[in-house]
Structure 1
């Protein structure tokens, strides 16, 4: 790739792989962007949501606006129908990536980049990492058999960390509950022309974008809350306000402290202290975590990127994580019980 010539206008075919609440919002705004007039935006979706997008477009309900943005764009449930794309934006959860990796790989040109917007610790974490002393290490649990690494390749990745409240109201309708902020960065910390071009096109479509040469700091800063609230909410069936007002808040503090310690040992700076993150959590009100929503919907939970990763990276860094170890055992048992129940329903 002659990256010195990369411009936003070069992205004439863009696929959003995973058109849930965040992915659907990305697709809707990109399809409505004047910068991308004439480009082909395609979303990979499924079920009733896919049908609704095809029939009536995607309705994006944005903060402060009385009428939704109605965006028309191509949508399919079969990535194999598409030609290779200039850019692929992946918004799947970490535990869904292995199964989808072959389809994602089939969408890539030799020079295509892949924006990975994911919560928790990503499969490519140590690629290009200059701060931990573990550059190039692979974490088997995050990428079983190395299939994502082989099929997609960490060198294609531009990492994304998003702060955006989003809710699927019904098929074809998504509500954003805040202005939103998306951090983007190369795993190597480089300031590449591709990173700049992708940031520009997303900014032009209505997102607040910050590029960074230390994307792992942003990963851990968000992870500080996710690692604690997600599994505890699933185990207790509690919303964040209920957790913060109950006896489990002491466990939240222990989990966050361990996460902070692991991040620091790996050379990362977490912006908030544990106490500041706890105070931030109190401001989240009755929000439901994604893990609790998955549990209620009978879906597999995102355990490895959000919980197991703390214990694995803790061992690699030589940092004890006893509270996270206990939490991992409990949430894994719950997930196994739910999987057994799903199997019996078939």
Structure 2
């Protein structure tokens, strides 16, 4: 083990992946199997049948190009109170799940511990350390009701994460990755800190392609450009991305992306793809299902605020009209409300 590995392991001996679904489970499996982390304790927060399968048989990670799955053994629990304080917590929950989990995440962290937040859409900490927008330190109530996440976890602990990784839960204890994967990491302040470098080293050594950046918000908006359009439209139409791009909603995709691009630029971010380039990228995703459509089909609450409501709110802050996104928000909110009533009636 070279000097870099020794330093990284010495700093992060207790690592928790909070939310061991498809992405979180893959992170846990690779970290637990990494020779670089042999002396570290990897723990995942999971639940239900998936938790039982991990405990009984380990997590089976089916990776592209490999005939046999990686079988990883690591600790797993559904009770964060079971764990000792952690040096590093990697959170892969969706935005609307964070408030209820924030107290547990905060309790898990050592005073000097760091938390990597891997999330789609606009995160709760967005304006912390943001020197470009003129809104530094602003809290957005809809993204963090009553400021609970901000107060409990603290934005100064956060390292932002933007991931590109196709992943699917095949069955409890079995996860399939459908692409090589890329994870962008960055401090909200833009600082290229030693902690950022050490965390990047750990994840890179466990099999991920990692890019660190001093402009994490640029990466947030680049991915958001597609998510803001494809997620709500797919839920409303029940369409896969190829069906959306070949159907009448393609003009709405362009309108939504154009508005998102304008808001990002007004807030001081550089989105390196044009709307046209992002649409072509979308065509390349083929018959993929968005996360919002998957949630809808499985009867789960949809991730509306970070992926749809956020652009309408930030548009107002930036004085950029967002009429297409405003309409999408109204429609997807009504759909989510009707689904919630159906769940209540079934219960």
Normalised TM-score (structure 2)? 0.98
Partner residue of 1:114?
Answer: 115
Partner residue of 2:27?
Answer: 26
- Distance in 2 (CA, whole Å) between partners of 1:239 and 1:51 is 32
Partner residue of 2:43?
Answer: 42
Residue 9 of structure 1 and its aligned partner are, at CA, apart by: 2.9
String of CA shifts for 1:280-310, please: whole Å, max 9, x gaps.
1111011000000000000000000000000
Answering whether residue 346 of structure 2 is matched by residue 345 of structure 1, we say yes
**Structural mapping, 1:328-339, within 5 Å:** 328-339=329-340
- Distance in 2 (CA, whole Å) between partners of 1:101 and 1:335 is 24
Partner residue of 2:158?
Answer: 157
Partner of 1:16: helix, strand, or coil? strand
- Distance in 2 (CA, whole Å) between partners of 1:10 and 1:121 is 29
- Distance in 1 (CA, whole Å) between partners of 2:346 and 2:64 is 40
Residue 51 of structure 1 and its aligned partner are, at CA, apart by: 0.4
Partner of 1:142: helix, strand, or coil? coil
Partner of 1:109: helix, strand, or coil? strand
**Structural mapping, 1:30-109, within 5 Å:** 30-109=31-110
Gaps of 5+ in 2: 1-5
Answering whether residue 257 of structure 2 is matched by residue 275 of structure 1, we say no
Partner residue of 1:302?
Answer: 303
Moved over 6 A (4+): none
Conserved 8 A contact 2:8-2:202: no
Partner of 1:196: helix, strand, or coil? helix
Conserved 8 A contact 1:8-1:198: no
Partner residue of 1:230?
Answer: 231
Answering whether residue 147 of structure 2 is matched by residue 171 of structure 1, we say no
Conserved 8 A contact 1:9-1:35: no
Cα distance, 1:6–1:122 mapped onto 2, change above 3 Å: farther
Conserved 8 A contact 2:9-2:39: no
- Distance in 2 (CA, whole Å) between partners of 1:280 and 1:96 is 29
- Distance in 2 (CA, whole Å) between partners of 1:218 and 1:8 is 28
- Distance in 2 (CA, whole Å) between partners of 1:212 and 1:86 is 22
Partner residue of 2:3?
Answer: none
- Distance in 1 (CA, whole Å) between partners of 2:162 and 2:108 is 23
Conserved 8 A contact 2:184-2:219: yes
- Distance in 2 (CA, whole Å) between partners of 1:75 and 1:123 is 27
Partner residue of 1:183?
Answer: 184
String of CA shifts for 1:64-87, please: whole Å, max 9, x gaps.
111100000000011111111010
Conserved 8 A contact 1:8-1:200: no
- Distance in 2 (CA, whole Å) between partners of 1:9 and 1:265 is 42
- Distance in 1 (CA, whole Å) between partners of 2:299 and 2:163 is 25
- Distance in 1 (CA, whole Å) between partners of 2:49 and 2:63 is 22
Partner residue of 2:267?
Answer: 266
Partner of 1:187: helix, strand, or coil? coil
Residue 345 of structure 1 and its aligned partner are, at CA, apart by: 1.0
Gaps of 5+ in 1: none
Partner of 1:7: helix, strand, or coil? helix
- Distance in 1 (CA, whole Å) between partners of 2:297 and 2:8 is 43
Residue 6 of structure 1 and its aligned partner are, at CA, apart by: 6.3
Residue 7 of structure 1 and its aligned partner are, at CA, apart by: 3.0
Conserved 8 A contact 1:59-1:69: yes
Task: State the Cα RMSD in Å.
Answer: 0.9
Residue 106 of structure 1 and its aligned partner are, at CA, apart by: 0.9
